[in-house]
Structure 1
Amino acid sequence: MTFRIRTLNAISQAGLSRLSATTFDVGPDVVNPHAILVRSASLHGQPIPASLMAVARAGAGTNNIPVAEMSKRGIPVFNTPGSNANAVKELVVAGIFLAARNIVDAAAFAHRLEGDHETMEKLVEAGKKNYVGFELPGRTLGVIGLGAIGVEVANVAISLGMKVLGYDPAITVEHAWRLASNVERVISLDQLLRRSDIITLHIPLVDGTRGLIGDTQFRSMKNSAVLINFARGPIVDEPALIEALDSGQLRGYVCDFPTPLLNKRPRVVTLPHLGASTREAEENSALMAVDQLREYLTDGTIRNAVNFPNAQLARAAGVRRLALANANVPNMVARISTIVGEAGLNIADLLNTSRGELAYTLVDVNGEVTDALVQRLAAIDGVLSARVL
């Protein structure tokens, strides 16, 4: 079978080169795609092709994809957590230095200087006092969100001599192992805000985090605090942010998301969404997205889907594989097994795993699988999609 993959953005050739032309038809003009490979293009409001089996985003955030709608159709949505972690970490650290040393304003001042050498020297000596900053050792960095990026930022800050507080009620075991032992975990957001000199955000934009940093949170911060946001703009309540800056409640704000309200505002540094804009990050994201998509289409393996559980089952030679996305309801495996048995097929291996309301089932069988069998399985109440590999 040839799988059709539509690309909605320019995807690094390093990733696309892993899709063999004999097995995959890839490009922006592919019709009736089995999969969509995307970076920043929005799928909201776009029709979902009946042929679609999977969506992969070469990046971490999936707010440009209607995940709930895909889930109803049994379509896994893949992302690439950690693939751009180093790129974002480096820019966050740069943002901390920009704020601590007033580098952007100071550079703009120097750029405006005119006159001969002696005149400029005098202007420099007279003006530099307006850009006095602070050093990082001994300062406290509060990291909200200890995922792949948050952990790296925290660890770098420790190496810079900073004290680091971390807040993440849902930190994974993997990320906890990677976190420097001298990062102090705090149990409340308010505790982190009250104690931190610099606060950096590393959480996704979801309903629960939209406007997470608002008026109440700004009032909890030190008057000298700096807020760094390379996560998503709407996590910060912008009107409350402006009020905190204007009142002197907040020392400064550095973000990756220019807006009309923020642009050219004093004590605000905005960058043009550069977080993952490195050649290395784009290649890493493409490689990871492509590998996950290829494994799902050809073997039914799920790694790093945001809506379905991870699922990997070693495949013996000579077996046919059934892959079913289904609601996480009782007796599903028994119903699947019964129908397979009624088709005269022996089950060689089986995996069923779940995540919240959704589940995923792989069934390896000995013998030929007919279209009629796949249709019977797809007709089970609660089965969202079914296919044979």
Structure 2
Amino acid sequence: MPLFSIQTYNQIAKVGLHIFDSNYTISDQESLPDAILLRSQRLHELPLPASLLCIARAGAGVNNIPVERCSENGIVVFNTPGANANAVKELAITALLLSSRKIVAGIEWANSLSGTDIEKQVESGKAQFSGPEIYGKKLGVLGLGAIGVMVANAAESLGMKVYGYDPYISIDAAWGLSRNVKKAKDLYSLYEKCDYITLHLPSTPETIGMINAEAMRQMKDGVRIINLSRGEMVNDEDMKAALHLGKVGCYVTDFPNAQTAEMQNVMSIPHLGASTPESEDNCAVMAARQTREFLENGNIMNAVNYPNCELPGVASNRLTITHKNMPNMLGQISKILADAQMNILNMINKSKGANAYTMMDIENELPEKVLQQIDQIEGVIKRRHLRGVVPHSLP
């Protein structure tokens, strides 16, 4: 009999669903799922079943998921950072070239030609589509996560002078960044130097609307701006004015809307950043692996609302608890176990903002009375008792 049920929304790549074995039922009609796998389906207006333990988004953004409501219910929300990085990197390099060379406009013009003298028309009209090479030009990369690092390295290898800005760059990202990429000390120093600026940042209160009139005033005249991150990072009204004045030479966005449709010198891409079969496969596999590891072993990898937390080894009895990040939480749990003569073999506790997660491997079988006492601790949101935890190598 299957141990877990998975509710799917959208078309999840089969290579990802193959991660689950016979212990799982998977369908788009599960009434009491343990986990949800999705891509773009909005969950804000949908109820969250009491059975739900986690939600995995096959992609980076989680604005279609009610993360705060999930946290209140102890539901772990995963995303798949870096799984679509190469696809977005390739589109960013494409956008650099398209913003410079007027290739799209040239193709549209060439396709409109008719008559027997098309060759002559081409030679006489091609000058209107000339544009600069990117070689030797300066590119500013805002955000040096998995995608930003790949874009910076690729642009540098194409002969661009690359400046990067990210005050929160991770150690792993720093290791992967080309040593030829120059670190901008602040946004102004990047804006004033660069011929091209590309955005690779998460959507946060600090980044929403960051490309506005004030920011663009600090940029070079004719700057080309590429936004493959989130539409709301650019103030559309300010962009419209900057394009009209020629302050911005071209704006490439992967998020067209009614306002951008009326602007001049805008290249609108229909949200194709991660639209490759390879990217969809990578995201699905990563989401499925994270889901299975959490359901079976309690380990958290790439959650957006709870800390990454992993307890290795074999365990007959593993206790996992999502709880508020409150003082003396561990002390209360440990006392209940000690009073019941329960021996803790291994333990880990981590926090992320207001939320925290604890895992304990217990030597003894856990009586139901002990589990109920833990459930009654103020701040405990959801508790699980996992039996027979065995680390495995997922396909």
With normalisation by structure 1, the TM-score equals 0.96
Q: State the partner residue of 1:352.
A: 349
1:239 is the counterpart of 2:237: yes
What RMSD, in angstroms, separates the aligned Cα atoms of the two structures?
1.2
Aligned counterpart for 2:336 among listed residues 323, 335, 339: 339
Aligned counterpart for 2:220 among listed residues 219, 222, 230: 222
Q: 1:97-130 CA deviation, whole Å, 9 max, x = no partner? A: 11111111111111111110xx222221221111
Deviates more, 1:141-150 or 1:366-375: 366-375
Residues 202-351 of structure 1 correspond to what in structure 2 (within 5 A)? 202-263=200-261, 265-317=263-315, 319-351=316-348
Q: Which residue identity lines up with residue 328 of structure 1 in the other structure?
A: N
1:27 is the counterpart of 2:24: no
Deviates more, 1:201-210 or 1:152-161: 201-210
Q: State the partner residue of 2:55.
A: 55
Whole-angstrom CA distance in 1 between matches of 2:277 and 2:160: 30
Q: State the partner residue of 1:17.
A: 18
Q: Residues 240 and 263 of structure 2 are in contact (CA less than 8 Å); yes or no, is this contact kept in structure 1?
A: no
1:147 is the counterpart of 2:148: no
Quote how far apart the aligned CAs of 1:232 are.
0.8
Q: Residues 84 and 279 of structure 2 are in contact (CA less than 8 Å); yes or no, is this contact kept in structure 1?
A: yes
Q: Provide runs of 4+ in structure 1 moved above 4 Å.
A: none
Sequence identity percentage: 45
Q: Which residue identity lines up with residue 340 of structure 2 in the other structure?
A: A
Q: State the partner residue of 2:382.
A: 385
Aligned counterpart for 1:168 among listed residues 155, 166, 169: 166
Quote how far apart the aligned CAs of 1:373 are.
2.5
Quote how far apart the aligned CAs of 1:367 are.
2.2
Quote how far apart the aligned CAs of 1:202 are.
0.2
Q: Which residue identity lines up with residue 272 of structure 1 in the other structure?
A: P
Q: 1:7-32 CA deviation, whole Å, 9 max, x = no partner? A: 111100001011112x1111110111
Q: State the partner residue of 2:95.
A: 95
Q: Which residue identity lines up with residue 309 of structure 1 in the other structure?
A: P
Quote how far apart the aligned CAs of 1:210 are.
1.2
Q: 1:150-179 CA deviation, whole Å, 9 max, x = no partner? A: 000000011011000101010000000100
Whole-angstrom CA distance in 2 between matches of 1:47 and 1:338: 36
Query: Which runs of no fewer than 5 residues in structure 1 stay unpaired?
Result: none
Aligned counterpart for 1:180 among listed residues 178, 181, 197: 178
Quote how far apart the aligned CAs of 1:334 are.
1.1
Q: Which residue identity lines up with residue 77 of structure 1 in the other structure?
A: V
1:75 is the counterpart of 2:79: no
Whole-angstrom CA distance in 2 between matches of 1:277 and 1:371: 48
Quote how far apart the aligned CAs of 1:213 are.
0.7
1:135 is the counterpart of 2:136: no
Whole-angstrom CA distance in 2 between matches of 1:206 and 1:69: 18
Quote how far apart the aligned CAs of 1:192 are.
1.1
Q: 1:115-147 CA deviation, whole Å, 9 max, x = no partner? A: 10xx22222122111111001121000000000
Quote how far apart the aligned CAs of 1:264 are.
6.4
Q: State the partner residue of 1:200.
A: 198
Q: 1:182-241 CA deviation, whole Å, 9 max, x = no partner? A: 111112112211111000000111222111111111111111210001111111111111
Q: State the partner residue of 1:372.
A: 369
Query: Which runs of no fewer than 5 residues in structure 2 stay unpaired?
Result: 387-395
Whole-angstrom CA distance in 2 between matches of 1:287 and 1:342: 43
Q: 1:363-383 CA deviation, whole Å, 9 max, x = no partner? A: 111222233322221221111
Secondary structure in 2 matching 1:313: coil
Secondary structure in 2 matching 1:286: helix
Secondary structure in 2 matching 1:251: strand
Quote how far apart the aligned CAs of 1:148 are.
0.2
Whole-angstrom CA distance in 1 between matches of 2:314 and 2:19: 23
Secondary structure in 1 matching 2:318: strand
With normalisation by structure 2, the TM-score equals 0.95
Secondary structure in 1 matching 2:226: strand
Q: Residues 144 and 173 of structure 2 are in contact (CA less than 8 Å); yes or no, is this contact kept in structure 1?
A: yes
Secondary structure in 1 matching 2:359: strand
Quote how far apart the aligned CAs of 1:262 are.
1.8
Whole-angstrom CA distance in 2 between matches of 1:71 and 1:196: 41
Secondary structure in 1 matching 2:323: strand
Given the superposition, is the C-alpha separation of residues 207 and 8 from structure 1 closer, same or farther in structure 2, using an over 3 Å criterion?
A: same
Whole-angstrom CA distance in 1 between matches of 2:119 and 2:16: 52
Q: Which residue identity lines up with residue 15 of structure 2 in the other structure?
A: A
Whole-angstrom CA distance in 2 between matches of 1:292 and 1:281: 17
Quote how far apart the aligned CAs of 1:267 are.
1.4
Whole-angstrom CA distance in 2 between matches of 1:125 and 1:356: 62
How many residues get paired?
385
Secondary structure in 1 matching 2:334: helix
Whole-angstrom CA distance in 2 between matches of 1:209 and 1:184: 22
Secondary structure in 2 matching 1:94: helix
Whole-angstrom CA distance in 1 between matches of 2:356 and 2:342: 23
